[in-house]
Amino acid sequence: MSPPPTAARPARPDRLHQRGGAAPAKVRGCGARPGRADQGHSHRSRANTRGKRSNRVHSPLIGGRGRAARCARRTRQRRAGRAVAGRKRGYSGNAALPHRLRSGIRHTVRSVKRRALVITLAVVFLLAGGGLGAAWAYGRSLDHHLARTNAFAGLPSERPTETVTGALNILVLGSDSRDPDSTTDSRTDTIMLVHVDADHQHAYSISIPRDTWVYVPESADGRNGGTKAKINAAYAWGGTPLVVQTVERYTGVRIDHVVLVDFAGFARITDALGGVDMYVDQSITSIHPPYRKFTKGEHHFTGAEALDYVRQRYQFKDGDFTREKHQQAFLKALMDKAASTGTLTDPVRLNAFLQAVTRSVTVDEDFDLVDTALALRDLRANDITFLTSPSTGTATVDGQSVVEPDTVKAKALYAAVRDDTVAQWVAAQASR
């Protein structure tokens, strides 16, 4: 039995015009876009007739074979030739490229700029105010990643009342442990009451020495407290809620929000900003490994160096009081660096700084980062006055070295905080 006759092979479309047929339609990549009829006879259609290869699409964009690939290759060659010709005419850079390539490059550059702008606007939003949706979303993302604690759990109903609408009182705690629920044998080396005026144009950061001898209320479990002790013992005995209760009882000021920062976090934030500049007022050797030597004069500190320096106290005559001054100087340097032009205009550094902050702090459950940032958008380091809670000096109680509060001056200061008249209190102290 003879084999069936072989079907005649159809003529190639691109050779029809050699036999008197019509000229072939131009294929995309060779100067014209295919019409709907041309699209019907596409590489995808031919590929679908080849069994296992039916899912392959031969496109000139991905190096396909056949006539389309040759057209794409010739197009690239023509564009390269135009670029060479452009350079010969004296053009340089993108101007020597074909129009389509120049458009693509401009689109890419605009995309990069837009991404950088989103981050920059986020900082402007957080530090200087703003209302763009991208910045708002970025701020909400940062707020979502903040660790939170129930800082007001179990507080008695007879808390101090709010006396001035709009003023803010934020308790800032610095600790070796960021976990507010695991405070056994922990102490808060830094206790600051930050008061923001009702018009949000000025703030006062009042450092309360950690050895201040005050009454610490009984802890929730009833095992500790109910006696006088160093104020930082409240954190070990009852965590953040007992610190809030102790500070409110001592000052008579209602705490609106709580921010806890672990010491390792200070180092991360500092490094994210590229370090800080500080003045060392006395040459000392650190008591902590690797026993750094800090010489008197101006220094640029990394995070670890700055943290090591502000933790020293035994080398100074007034111990904890000098350490508090150094902590305040460090916070001011940190704020100056965060608000500097170099940080605000560097999207990478800016984003690293904000991410480091969110990884290093714990806030109360009602704290809203975006709302707080908007409320404090006009504040800068120069708008913050650093104070220390009044005291009469150190004393020895039950074999412990403690700081004795100056009850008269402290009462006047915290009354000014409640009444939002701290500026007048500061002016009165300066005139004496």
| Percentage of the residues of the chain whose pLDDT score is greater than 70 | 65
Give the per-residue pLDDT at 76.
67
Question: b/e map of 74-93 (b: 16 or more CB within 10 Å)?
Answer: ebeeeeeeebeebeeeeeee
Mean pLDDT of 360-366: 93
Tens digits of per-residue pLDDT, 330-347? 988 988 888 776 776 777
Listed in sequence order, the residues at least 6 apart from 183 whose beta carbon sits closer than 8 Å to its beta carbon are 177, 235, 236, 238, 239, 240
| Dihedral, CA of residue 338, residue 339, residue 341 and residue 347, to nearest 10 | 50
Tens digits of per-residue pLDDT, 15-67? 444 444 444 444 444 444 444 444 444 444 444 444 444 444 444 344 444 56
Average pLDDT taken over every residue of the chain: 77
Mean pLDDT of 393-410: 94
Q: Which residues pair with 207 in a beta bridge?
A: 192, 388
308 vs 111, higher pLDDT? 308
Residue 213 has pLDDT above 60, yes or no: yes
Tens digits of per-residue pLDDT, 179-197? 444 445 566 788 999 999 9
- Peptide bond connecting 290 to the previous residue in cis, omega within 30 degrees of 0: yes
Binned at pLDDT 50, 70 and 90, residue 70 comes out as low
Residue 317 has pLDDT above 80, yes or no: yes
Q: Give Cα separations from 79 to 73, 83, 260, 287, 364 (angstroms).
A: 10, 6, 60, 68, 61
Residue 252 has pLDDT above 50, yes or no: yes
- Residue 265's identity, in one-letter code, is G
Give the per-residue pLDDT at 282.
94
Give the per-residue pLDDT at 55.
43
Listed in sequence order, the residues at least 6 apart from 91 whose beta carbon sits closer than 8 Å to its beta carbon are none
Q: Which domains does the chain have, with CATH numbers?
A: 98-136 (no CATH), 149-430 (3.40.630.190)
The residue count of the chain comes to 432
Mean pLDDT of 6-15: 47
Give the per-residue pLDDT at 72.
66
Mean pLDDT of 288-316: 94
Distance CA 260, CA 386 (A): 18
Give the per-residue pLDDT at 84.
53
